[in-house]
Amino acid sequence: VQLVESGGGLVQAGVSLRLSCAASGLTFSSYSQGWFRQAAGKEREFVAFLTWSGDSTYYADSVKGRFTISRDNAKNSVYLQMNSLKPEDTAVYYCAARKYISGIGGHRDSSNYDYWGQGTQVTVSS
């Protein structure tokens, strides 16, 4: 199984970025997807979650209204649209997958995911 993130970069505050995560080696439509981030010197934190069926999304309070998670099962991909970026959004962003049977409980806990990508750096300058 492989999850590969892309789309990170160095941007100014206020602009948008779209992260992508391409999955292979798993039945993508049977997995719920999450995005997490880890800033330098801090613990990894939950950002967004999308159920395997695509009918429910959850967001961290810090990104609600600015970030949108979505998926394209035909492309085995999950996306994170990030608008109105702030310097405090600077972090390495990781996508993660967990089997649909896990339901939605514990989706904010990184230990409840089965597979992880290698991460992509997002740096937002003020």
**Angstrom distance (rounded) from CA 119 to CA 91:** 10
**pLDDT at position 85:** 98
What CA–CA distances, in Å, run from 10 to 41, 57, 89? Answer: 19, 27, 11
Query: What are the 10-residue block averages of pLDDT along the chain, 126 residues in total?
Result: 98 98 96 97 98 94 98 97 98 96 87 97 97
**pLDDT at position 56:** 94
Residue written as token pair 């069926």: 53
Contact indicator for 35, 69 with CB cutoff of 8 Å:
yes
Give the DSSP H or E segment for 120.
Answer: strand 120-125
- As a whole number of Å, the CA-based R_g of the chain is 13
